[in-house]
Amino acid sequence: MNKVVEAIPQDGFRLRLRFNDGVEGVVDLSDLAGRGVMSLWNDPEVFNSASVTETGAVEWPGGVDVCGDALYLRVTGKKPEEVFPNLAVRIDA
């Protein structure tokens, strides 16, 4: 499991993240802004109040969160099967 250990809000619905394995990067969440429960980010103070949970997710007021694994995939650009090898489909002949 990839856990966020530090999240620093940036302009434009971006977060500077550091993960438990040392990976660091910026993730752009602007595609989520204003949609569904993420409409709460319409208030910049809410987006800027992001915090890291004990489970390594990033959370905002009201219990809205994005899991660390999803953020890790966005930061690294890796595919799920690269990070979670057990997801790879095996076809036995």
The verdict on pTM exceeding 0.85 is: yes
Backbone dihedral angles phi then psi of residue 40, each to the nearest 5 degrees:
-65, -20
- Which one has a higher pLDDT value, 57 or 83? 57
Q: Write the DSSP assignment of 28-87 as a string of letters.
A: E-TTTTTSGGGGGGGSHHHHTT-EE-TTS-EEETTTEEE-HHHHHHHHH---HHHH-GGG
Confidence of residue 85 (pLDDT cuts 50, 70, 90): confident
Confidence of residue 88 (pLDDT cuts 50, 70, 90): low
pLDDT tens for 11-37 read 999 999 999 999 999 999 999 999 999
What domains does the chain contain, in order, with CATH numbers?
4-87 (3.30.2020.10)
